[in-house]
Structure 1
Amino acid sequence: METVSAPTTVSPERLSSPRQLAAASVGNLVEWYDWYAYSFLATYFATQVFPKGEGGLTSLLDAFAVFAVGFFMRPVGGLLMGAVADRLGRKAALTLTILLMGAGSLLVAVLPTYAQVGVLSPVLLVVARLVQGLSVGGEFAASTTFLVESAPPHRRGFFSSFQYVSTTIGQLLASGLAAVLASTLSDDAMSSWGWRVPFAVGALLSLVGLLIRRGARETLADADDLRSGRVRRPGLLDALRHHPRQSLLIVGITVAGTIAYYTWTTYLPTYANTYAGVPKGTALWVGTVALVFFMVLNPLMGMLSDRVGRRPLLLTFAAAFVLLTVPGLALLDDGAGRLLLVQGTGMVFLAMYTSIAAAVNAEVFPARVRASGIGFPYSLSVALFGGTAPYVGTALKDAGHGTLFPWYLSALCLVSLVVYAVALRETAHRPLPA
C-alpha cells in the first residue's frame, strides 16, 4: 500500500476559533468536574460502598485509596489516548475520552451499595475510577494538542490558557453543587442518595460535551490517510523512542507546575488548617475566592506570553516558588487575611505556568507524535509529584517533620527552574514543529 507524507496540522485560518475553543474546553470541564466530585463526596458514599471499620475511618480511607488508583491510571491514559490522537485524529481521542468519563460517572451514580451486593460494590467503584483515570490522562494529551493546533500562531498562549480555565470551572461546579446539596439535604439523605446526584449530572454533562465536540474540526490534516493506512501510523512508543530528550524535557517542565498547582489549589486549605489553625470552613472559602481569581488570571497571562515569550513567565514562576514558598507558608496564622494574601500571591505566579503549559508542551513535539509525546511524560509527572503532594505533606506531618514540606516544594521547583534556564528554548514566535 502506498505511503504518503508524514502527518501535518490544519492551518488555523481554516478553523472556527470559538467552536474549537468550546469543543476542547467543555470536555476538559466535564473531566475535571467528575474528577473533583469524587473527592468532595467521598465522605458521604464511603460507608455505602465499603464495609465499616473500627472508628468509622476505614471506609473513608478505602475511598481515598481508590481515588489514588485512578490517579495512577493517568499515565496509561496519556499514553493510550495520546496514541489514538496521533493515529486516528484528535477528534477521535476527544470523543473517546469524554465517553469514558461519562461512562465512569454513570457507573458511580447507579452503583449498588455494599449492603446490596457485598464486595461487588467496591469492585465496581474501582472499575469506574480506572476508567475515569484513563480518561483524564488522555484528555490532557488530546485537548492540549487540539487547542494549540487550533490557535492562530500569535495566539497559542491565549488558547492554551483555556486548559486550566476549564479545569477551574469544573472544580468550582463540583464543589458548588456538593456544597448546595450538603446544605439543603440532611446527612442521612446525602449518605443514602444525595451523593449520587453530582455523578448523574456529570454523565449528562458528558453527553452535552460530546454533542459540542461533534461539531469541531479535525486539526490533524492527514487524519483520514492515517485511518485508511495510506500514511504509516506512529507506534505506541515512537515518541519515547525517537524523541527521548523532548520526553525528559516535558517531565522537567511539569515537575514544578504540577506540585505548585496541587499544593496551592487543593492542599493549601488543609495545610492552613493543620499548621496555622485556620478553621476548615474559612480555609475552603478563601480557596474558592482564590480559584476564581486564578481562573481570571490565566487568559491574561496567556496573552502576555504571546507578546513577551514563554520563558520569561516560566522563569519568573519557578524562581518565585523557589524563593517565596518557605517564607510565604511561614506567614500563615489562624486568620483568613494572611491565607488570602499567600494563596492569592501564589496564584499570580502559578498562572504564569498554567496559562502556557499546553502551548509549551505542544511546541516541543512534531505533529506526528505530539499527543502521545505529551501525554505519557506529563501524566507520569503529575501522578508522581502533583497527585502525591497532599500525601507527602500529611506523611511528613505524621513523622513529625511537617515543616519540611515547603522545602520539598521549593526543591522540586528548583529542578524546573534549571530546566527552563538551561534546556528550554523560546518557542512562542516559532511555527509549530511539523
Structure 2
Amino acid sequence: MSDTHVYHPHEKRNRIMSIVGAASGNLVEWFDFYIYAAFAIYFTHALTAPDMSDSTKAIYVWGVFAASFFMRPIGSWLFGRIGDKYGRKRSMIISISLMAVSSFLFACLPTYEQVGMAAPFCLLAVRLLQGLSVGGEYGTVATYMSEVALKGQRGFYSSFQYVTLAGGQLLASLLGVIMLALMSKEELMNGGWRIPFIIGGVVAILSFFARRHLKETLSENDSQKEGSGSLKELLTNNWRTFLLVVGYTSAGSLCFYVITVYSKTYITSLGFEDRTVGYMMTIALFVFMCAQPLFGMLADRIGRRASMMTFSITCAIFIYPVMVILMPQFSGSAFIVTLLLIFLMLMLSFYTSISGLVKAEMFPPHIRALGVGFAYAVGNAIFGGSAPAVALKFKDLGHENTFFIYVVVMLIICLFCSMQLPKQPKYLHHDV
C-alpha cells in the first residue's frame, strides 16, 4: 500500500499546516453542531409545549435533530458545487460563516412562554440552518484534507478529520460537565443553555479568520472541466460509485450516532446521574479521538478495504451483546460501562479514521467535493441522524432491543459494500 514521495521540507510544513487549519475549522463546526445533543435536555422544556408528555417532548427534540440531517444533502450539493467549481477554500469559509450565524441565532431563540407554538418552529428553522452548514462541511473538508495529505500517509493525516469531529463532540460534552459544575440543573434549564451557543458562535468567527489563510488544492483545469461540481455528472457517469459510497456510509453513520450520541440517552436510562454520564461520555470520546490517528496509520498498512471490512464484522458481532446484555448487566458500575463504550468506539474507529479518505479516493477531482459530501449526506440523513429518534420510538413501543437488530442488518450490508472496494485507490493515488 506504500505510495512513497519525497517532499521538500517547506512543502511538507505547508501541507501539515493546511491540515491543521482545515481540521481546526472542522472541530468548530462539529462543536457547534453537537452542543445541541449535549444540552438538549436543558432547552427541551423551554422550547416545547408544557402540556406535552416528557417522551413526546424528547421525540420532538430528537426529531428536530434528525430533521437537520435532511438539510445535509442540500448543503452538500450547494457547498460541493462551490468546492468543485470555485475552490475548496471558498466553500469552507462560507460554511463556517453560516455556522457562526446560526449559533448566535440559536442562543437568541424565543421560549414557548414568550411566543407559543412559534418556539418549536423557530428551533426547527435554526437547526436546519446548522444542518445546511455541516452538510457542506464534511465533503469539502474530507476532500481538502485527502488532497493535501502526504502520500503514503493519507490514512494517518486524513484521520484528523474525525479527530476534530470527535473533538467537537468531546468539547461539547466537556462543556456540559463544566456548566453542570458551575450552574445547577435548574439554572441551565432557565436560560443557561444559551451560553454554549454563544461560545460556539464566537469560536466559529475565529475559525473564519484561520481559514482565510488556507492553500487552495483545486486546480484551474479541474474547476473548468465540463460537469465540474454538477449533480448530473455525478449521478450519470458515477452513479455506481455514488451508490456504493452511500451503502457503506449508511451503516457507518448509523453506528457512529448510536455509539457516540444515542448511547448518552441509553446509559442515562440505566440509572446513572446526568453528571456521571457526562464524565463517562467525555472519557470515552477522549479515547476515541486519540485513537483515530492510530487506526489511520493501520489503514495505511493494511489497506482501506481491510479496515472497512474489519469495522463491519466486529461491530456486527459485538454491538448487540454489548448494548443489550452487558451494559444493563453492569449498570451498577460506571467504570465497566465506560470501558464497554470505549470498546465499541474502538471498533467504530476502523471506519471513522478513514471515512472521508475512502470516499474521496472513489471520485475524480472535478466532482470530488460534491461526490463525497452528497453521498455522505444522503446516507447520514436517512440512517445516521435518525438513529436517536428511531431508537426512542422503538423504546416507546417497548421494543428497544429490536433497534439494535436493525443496526446489525445495516452492518451486514456495509460488509458487502466494503468487499466491493478496490484494493488500490481509484483516484488520489497519483493525481495530487
Aligned partners of 2:59 and 2:389 also within 8 Å: no
**Residue in structure 2 matched with residue 181 of structure 1 by the alignment:** 179
Q: 1:326, CA displacement in angstroms? A: 2.5
Q: 1:230, CA displacement in angstroms? A: 8.8
Q: 1:15, CA displacement in angstroms? A: 7.4
**Residue in structure 1 matched with residue 318 of structure 2 by the alignment:** 324
Q: 1:350, CA displacement in angstroms? A: 1.0
Which of 146, 153, 162 pairs up with 2:151?
153
Q: TM-score normalised to the size of structure 1?
A: 0.88
Which of 418, 423, 430 pairs up with 1:425?
423
Give the aligned residue type for 2:212: R
Name the SS of the counterpart of 2:109 in structure 1: coil
Q: Which moved more, 1:381-390 or 1:363-372?
A: 381-390
Which of 189, 195, 207 pairs up with 2:205?
207
**Residue in structure 2 matched with residue 8 of structure 1 by the alignment:** none
Name the SS of the counterpart of 2:176 in structure 1: helix
1:102 aligned to 2:100?
A: yes
Percent identity over the alignment is 37
**Residue in structure 1 matched with residue 408 of structure 2 by the alignment:** 410
Name the SS of the counterpart of 1:270 in structure 2: helix
Give the aligned residue type for 1:287: M
Q: Which moved more, 1:296-305 or 1:405-414?
A: 405-414
Gaps of 5+ in 1: 1-10
Name the CA shift for 1:200/1:143 in 2 (closer, same or farther; >3 Å). same
**Residue in structure 1 matched with residue 74 of structure 2 by the alignment:** 76
Give the aligned residue type for 2:322: G
Give the aligned residue type for 2:83: A
Aligned partners of 1:310 and 1:428 also within 8 Å: no
Name the SS of the counterpart of 1:376 in structure 2: helix
Q: 1:396, CA displacement in angstroms? A: 2.3
**Residue in structure 1 matched with residue 217 of structure 2 by the alignment:** 219
Aligned partners of 1:366 and 1:432 also within 8 Å: no
Give the aligned residue type for 1:306: D
Which of 240, 244, 249 pairs up with 2:239?
244
Which of 300, 304, 318 pairs up with 1:310?
304
Instruction: Provide, for residues 154-178 of structure 1, a one-character-per-residue CA deviation record: whole Å limited to 9, x for no partner.
Output: 1211121111110111112122223
Name the CA shift for 1:15/1:120 in 2 (closer, same or farther; >3 Å). farther
Name the CA shift for 1:29/1:361 in 2 (closer, same or farther; >3 Å). same
Name the CA shift for 1:248/1:58 in 2 (closer, same or farther; >3 Å). closer
Matches of 1:283 and 1:150, distance apart in 2 = 38
Matches of 1:295 and 1:27, distance apart in 2 = 16
Name the CA shift for 1:317/1:63 in 2 (closer, same or farther; >3 Å). closer
Name the SS of the counterpart of 1:215 in structure 2: coil
Name the SS of the counterpart of 2:162 in structure 1: helix
**Residue in structure 2 matched with residue 260 of structure 1 by the alignment:** 255
Q: 1:233, CA displacement in angstroms? A: 4.2
Number of residue pairs matched?
420
Name the CA shift for 1:60/1:331 in 2 (closer, same or farther; >3 Å). closer
1:292 aligned to 2:286?
A: yes
Instruction: Provide, for residues 293-328 of structure 1, a one-character-per-residue CA deviation record: whole Å limited to 9, x for no partner.
Output: 111110011112122211221111111112222333
Counting only pairs closer than 5 Å after superposition, residues 156-171 of structure 1 correspond to structure 2 as 156-171=154-169
Name the CA shift for 1:384/1:158 in 2 (closer, same or farther; >3 Å). same
Q: 1:217, CA displacement in angstroms? A: 0.3
Give the aligned residue type for 2:388: P
Q: Which moved more, 1:130-139 or 1:319-328?
A: 319-328
Q: Which moved more, 1:370-379 or 1:300-309?
A: 300-309
**Residue in structure 1 matched with residue 377 of structure 2 by the alignment:** 379
Matches of 1:73 and 1:253, distance apart in 2 = 20
Aligned partners of 1:249 and 1:419 also within 8 Å: yes
1:351 aligned to 2:349?
A: yes
Aligned partners of 2:307 and 2:351 also within 8 Å: yes
Aligned partners of 1:264 and 1:346 also within 8 Å: yes
Which of 17, 20, 24 pairs up with 1:22?
20
Matches of 2:25 and 2:428, distance apart in 1 = 28
Matches of 1:381 and 1:230, distance apart in 2 = 27
**Residue in structure 2 matched with residue 190 of structure 1 by the alignment:** 188
Q: TM-score normalised to the size of structure 2?
A: 0.89
Aligned partners of 1:23 and 1:212 also within 8 Å: yes
Name the SS of the counterpart of 2:215 in structure 1: coil
Q: Which moved more, 1:391-400 or 1:246-255?
A: 391-400
What is the RMSD of the two structures over their aligned residues, measured on CA atoms?
Answer: 2.7
Aligned partners of 2:62 and 2:389 also within 8 Å: no
Aligned partners of 1:364 and 1:433 also within 8 Å: no
Which of 220, 230, 233 pairs up with 1:235?
230
Aligned partners of 1:144 and 1:362 also within 8 Å: yes
**Residue in structure 1 matched with residue 388 of structure 2 by the alignment:** 390
Q: 1:412, CA displacement in angstroms? A: 0.8
Name the CA shift for 1:95/1:193 in 2 (closer, same or farther; >3 Å). same
Matches of 1:197 and 1:307, distance apart in 2 = 44
Q: Which moved more, 1:110-119 or 1:382-391?
A: 110-119
Q: 1:413, CA displacement in angstroms? A: 0.7
Q: Which moved more, 1:263-272 or 1:196-205?
A: 263-272
Q: 1:220, CA displacement in angstroms? A: 0.4
Counting only pairs closer than 5 Å after superposition, residues 107-146 of structure 1 correspond to structure 2 as 107-146=105-144
Q: Which moved more, 1:175-184 or 1:300-309?
A: 175-184
Give the aligned residue type for 1:217: K
**Residue in structure 2 matched with residue 6 of structure 1 by the alignment:** none
Q: 1:36, CA displacement in angstroms? A: 1.2
Name the SS of the counterpart of 1:153 in structure 2: coil
Q: Which moved more, 1:209-218 or 1:124-133?
A: 124-133
Aligned partners of 2:69 and 2:377 also within 8 Å: no
Aligned partners of 1:86 and 1:234 also within 8 Å: yes
Name the CA shift for 1:431/1:57 in 2 (closer, same or farther; >3 Å). closer
Instruction: Provide, for residues 240-298 of structure 1, a one-character-per-residue CA deviation record: whole Å limited to 9, x for no partner.
Output: 22200110111122122112211111122333444x55555444432221111111110
Name the CA shift for 1:428/1:278 in 2 (closer, same or farther; >3 Å). farther
Instruction: Provide, for residues 203-236 of structure 1, a one-character-per-residue CA deviation record: whole Å limited to 9, x for no partner.
Output: 111111111101110010218x94xx69774423
Which of 29, 36, 60 pairs up with 1:31?
29
